[in-house]
Structure 1
Amino acid sequence: MSAEMISMPSAPTSLLQRLEWRARHAVNTTVSGEYRSAFRGRGMEFDQVVKYQWGDDPRDIDWNVTARLGEPYRKRFVEERDLTIMFVFEDSPALQFGSDGRTRRQTLLETAALLMTISAINRDRVGLLYSAPGKSWFQRALPGRKGIMRIAATLLDQPAPSLDGPTACPLSWPFVKKSATRGSVLLWFGPFAPQGMPELWRELQQRYQAVGVRADDPWDVELPRNAKLSAYDPLAGRLTLLNTASSAERAAHAAWRERREEYFTEMFPRSDDRLIVGNVDDPLQSLIAWFHRHRHGGARA
């Protein structure tokens, strides 16, 4: 696994400039405090117990103290000055599908670049583990805009994996555990096709704040009716012909969708730790909505 960074690629420079401008505007007007709220759980250290006030995050309630004193108390945290955001990008061929102009891969790449830019604006450190079939590399966490923008540009410049080659994208979770400091935020971008629980996953979730980031296409929710089309089957690793007029095909798609949701929920039991961005949606607006849910308590599924 390579740990060397190459120089700033030129191809994604204009896209990064546009994303950075949008991210700075969002941070200045909307998401600065909400970003800190979303990524505060493992990136804070305990200060003291104080009385719970209306509007405080109920996740911070200290139930032992509350039961002992007969009124609600919460834990107060102080922000660590050096928060590390570790990006894991699983560049599976399964991401190369899009029914309306943009693929899941493009959606996740843009979302990752936006989050890297927001992290740089908030003076956090950013690292990246990238994995594609037959290729993987790691960049240790770097501080500062220049280093983080170089990481984002390198990610955006990665060629899409071949659709007629190998499909496996091995992710070395023991390596992640060794490379990321305790209390880091772990953002995993991938297809999340139903499969077994990764090695060390529950242990990593105790060690880090782990968030799964998935891109959804409208056809993931419902296939068009009475159509014949070719689509990439991530489980078989090949293109397959679909006849959506077939009740059997539609039932198989519904069963796949159910298994996919069950697996994603099993991997990330708290809904706050699941970020889904639609191919037809603006990734920045999806991020803002996700940050907003965190700031206001979110759902706790």
Structure 2
Amino acid sequence: MTTAEILKRVRRIEIKTRGLSNHIFAGEYHSAFKGRGMSFSEVREYAPGDDVKAIDWNVTARFSHPFIKVFEEERELTVMLLVDVSSSSLFGTQQRLKRDLITEISAVISFSASTNNDKVGVIFFSDKVEKFIPPKKGRSHILRIIRELIALEPSQNSKGTNVNAALEYLTNALKKRTITFVLSDFVSEPYDAALQLAARRHDIVGIQTYDRHDQELPAAGLIQVKDAETGEMRWLDTDDKQVRYQYGAAFEEQKKYCQTSFRKSGASLVRVRTDEDYVKVLQGFFKGR
């Protein structure tokens, strides 16, 4: 992809996802993720019904009638995106590739965070951490993230997906609490221990992307398939009911592992299919918090 093509696609994604962030997600995002506490804002005169515990006795004594302290929520948060760029994300048989879905959702979250004056950072990973973008604010920073979401590819010697490596990097690199979104199909080496450790320090939200044909193999006769991450080639008789059953059973086993790992760690998990309206899915999740 040329630089001009990348910039054109960045602009197209910015227009779409920034509009969604401003008009749909701003309120839901703000209410879903709390700030780090309350900070002093100002004092004002006491009114009937105010909490007497909030009276500022020094100001009250100075003016000879009661004043109370007013506090407001500290809204500034740090949002981290852990983005799977492994080869398995380059699969999709419906409206889009899993990678395209991850890119759009990441952009929506980034603009939503930026609208709320939050910092955003990214850890790109395959079977290892590919790139770390430290958290910052500002439109130019968000556009840089989108460029990387579009253009970054895994290392040539990369094979497989390792969610564990990304979570361990997060735990070691960011000591302060963050809101962390892990965007992946979670077809990975085991990661439950790293997830539990990361969830103790950070507010973790997994966004699992999948395609209809990750879930079920169509009956299409004898076909040759290639594992996108290992390069292994195989012939499959997709008309064989047992083959299709085993394919679906492997998907369900992986799905169950993912759901169980997130539940045990206390983290949240959202599942989005490539042909689903992710806007409705994310809105439902934000409102549910």
For 1:85, the equivalent position in structure 2 comes to: 79
TM-score (norm. length: structure 1)? 0.72
For 2:121, the equivalent position in structure 1 comes to: 127
For 1:201, the equivalent position in structure 2 comes to: 195
CA offset at residue 256 of structure 1?
0.8
Gaps of 5+ in 2: 40-70
SS of alignment partner, residue 275 of structure 1: strand
Instruction: Please give the per-residue CA displacement for 1:33-68, whole angstroms capped at 9, x wherever unaligned.
Output: 11123333xx44379xxxxxxxxxxxxxxxxxxxxx
Whether 2:267 is the aligned partner of 1:275: answer: no
Q: Which has the higher contact order (CA 8 A, sep 6+)?
A: 1
**Pairing 1:1-301 to 2, within 5 Å after superposition:** 10-40=4-34, 43-45=35-37, 79-100=73-94, 102-132=96-126, 136-159=130-153, 166-167=159-160, 169=162, 171-193=165-187, 195-233=189-227, 238-269=232-263, 273-281=268-276, 285-295=277-287, 297=288
Larger Rg: 2
Q: Distance in 2 between matches of 1:294 and 1:134?
A: 30
SS of alignment partner, residue 140 of structure 1: strand
CA offset at residue 137 of structure 1?
1.8
Q: Distance in 1 between matches of 2:194 and 2:127?
A: 21
**Alignment RMSD, CA only?**
3.1
Instruction: Please give the per-residue CA displacement for 1:151-197, whole angstroms capped at 9, x wherever unaligned.
Output: 221231113666x9633557253431232243311111222125423
Give the 3 Å change call, closer, same or farther, for CA 227–109 of structure 1 in structure 2. farther
Count the aligned residue pairs: 254
TM-score (norm. length: structure 2)? 0.75
Q: Which residue type is aligned with residue 93 of structure 2?
A: S
Give the 3 Å change call, closer, same or farther, for CA 38–241 of structure 1 in structure 2. farther
Q: Which residue type is aligned with residue 166 of structure 1?
A: K
Q: Distance in 1 between matches of 2:149 and 2:136?
A: 15
Give the 3 Å change call, closer, same or farther, for CA 24–223 of structure 1 in structure 2. same
Give the 3 Å change call, closer, same or farther, for CA 249–133 of structure 1 in structure 2. same
CA offset at residue 86 of structure 1?
0.6
For 1:54, the equivalent position in structure 2 comes to: none
Q: Distance in 2 between matches of 1:172 and 1:79?
A: 31
CA offset at residue 143 of structure 1?
0.9
Of Structure 1 and Structure 2, the greater helix share is in: 2
Gaps of 5+ in 1: 1-8, 48-76
Identity %: 22
SS of alignment partner, residue 188 of structure 1: strand
For 2:61, the equivalent position in structure 1 comes to: none
